[in-house]
Amino acid sequence: MVQQLLSPRVLLVRVVAAAVVLVVVMLLCALAGSESISLKTAFAGAHEGGSANPDYEILVHIRVPRVVLAAIVGAALAAAGVALQALLRNPLADPYILGISSGAGLGATLAIIGGFSWTLWGRSPVAIFAFAGAVGTVWLVWGIGRITGKFHITGLLLAGVVVNAFFSAIIMFLISIAKGQQLHATMFWLMGNMAEEDFFVLWIGAGCVAAGVISLYFLAPQLNAISFNPEDAKSMGIHVERVQLLAFTISAFVTAVAVSLSGLVGFVGLVVPHAVRLVLGPDHRQLLPIASICGAIFLVIADTVARVIVAPAQLPVGVVTAIIGGPFFLVLLVRYNRKVSWLR
């Protein structure tokens, strides 16, 4: 069985290697931006020669937070993607499949059109509404799924599709009555809107996502069994429904955190898990940590491209993830053709 193929040492080496690559990519990406800054000046500190030091502020208050944010969001989406693909046993699953995206989008659109200007712990109403929308929608879809049968995956997926369509329609209606400027803000949010965040927000976000990824990692052996065959898993003594509920809740929470931080960044949660699975195989004990780190690397790079390529303007990061990610994934798909089969 797959479980035996992976020794803890190999896993550790791979995770550490991926983490090193992530750190290097983050450092390099923090040096890229629309303004050219000198590291020497930046390291002179906040107040070089009595006056404010713009190089320091750009590096420390703008670029580092943004690169860290991209890493957090990328890791969250990739981990949630891995878990949902395993739970739903469906290669098309991604973190948004159960309606999270439209729920969060509806929340964000309402906040933008409502034009609120208060903040809560440094978070804008858009982020808070998006989080609430995401969590509320998952709960709704889950509830409908339960009614259709005791954990019936088809029922759950259909509920997700219908709720998605319904909320998307409401978003479209709201957009049609929005003013031009609100329309613009909404569209950007829906395509992934990375912005610089407070260190406090990043710290909490990183904690939530790390806790989520580690929890999913704890469930990896059970996820392996379930993704092979839920019936066999049951006969092996695994509480399938409990694991499913737990993993769903964690994935939904992690996705909601990511979405409230950055808007709807597409493609990461679908493609990164598949890419890692193609290259390294389907064992979730390896897939979860490595896919999270690769998701972080991928989104850091994509966001840097989005920041730099049309400078001084910026592209929505969702555009870049699809444009870079699509062809890259197709190349992998062809190269590792023999491993394409979903469950090997």
Partner 1 sequence: MNKWWILAVAFAAWVGLGCVLLRPRHAEAAFEAQPSRAPTRVVSMAPNLTEILFSLGLDESIVGVTRDSDYPPAAALKSTVGTFWQPNIEAVIALKPDLVMALDLEQQRGLTGRLTRMGYKCLTLDISTVDDLSAAISNVAAVTHRDVQAEQVLGSMKAKIAAIRNKAAGKDKVKVLWVVQREPLRVAGRNTFINELIELAGGENAIGKTFHVYPPIGGEQVIASAPQVIIEPDMTGGDLAGQRIQAISYWARYATVPAVADGRIHVIDGDLVSRLSPRLGDGIEIIAKCLHPEVFGE
Which one, 56 or 167, has the nearer CB to partner 1? 56
Residue 336's SS3 state is coil
Please list, residue by residue across 206-219, b when 16 or more beta carbons sit within 10 angstroms of its beta carbon and e when fewer do: bebbbebbebbbeb
Smallest separation (angstroms) from partner 1 to the CB of 35: 5
Q: Taking CB under 8 A as the rule, does residue 314 contact partner 1?
A: yes
Q: What is the DSSP letter of 116?
A: -
Q: Taking CB under 8 A as the rule, does residue 62 contact partner 1?
A: yes
Q: Taking CB under 8 A as the rule, does residue 211 contact partner 1?
A: yes
- Positions in 101-160 near partner 1 (CB under 8 A): 112, 115, 117, 119, 121-122, 124, 126
Contact 249, 134 (CB under 8 A): no
Which of 21, 151, 196, 240 binds partner 1 (CB under 8 A)? It is 196
Residue 94's SS3 state is coil
| Burial class of residue 319, CB neighbours in 10 A (0-12, 13-18, 19+) | middle
Contact pattern from residue 36 through residue 55 relative to partner 1, giving x for each residue in contact according to CB under 8 A and a dash for the rest: -x-------------xx-x-
Smallest separation (angstroms) from partner 1 to the CB of 108: 10
**CA distance to 104, 105, 267, per residue, from 172 (Å):** 14, 10, 22
Alpha-carbon 180 to chain mean position: 29
Contacts of 118 (CB under 8 A, 6+ apart): 125
Which of 3, 154, 181, 229 binds partner 1 (CB under 8 A)? It is 181
Q: Which residue matches tokens 């995770």? A: 15
Which one, 83 or 276, has the nearer CB to partner 1? 83
Smallest separation (angstroms) from partner 1 to the CB of 309: 13
Q: Taking CB under 8 A as the rule, does residue 188 contact partner 1?
A: yes
Q: Taking CB under 8 A as the rule, does residue 33 contact partner 1?
A: yes
Q: Taking CB under 8 A as the rule, does residue 239 contact partner 1?
A: no
Which one, 35 or 231, has the nearer CB to partner 1? 35
Whole-angstrom distance, CA of residue 25 vs CA of residue 243: 35
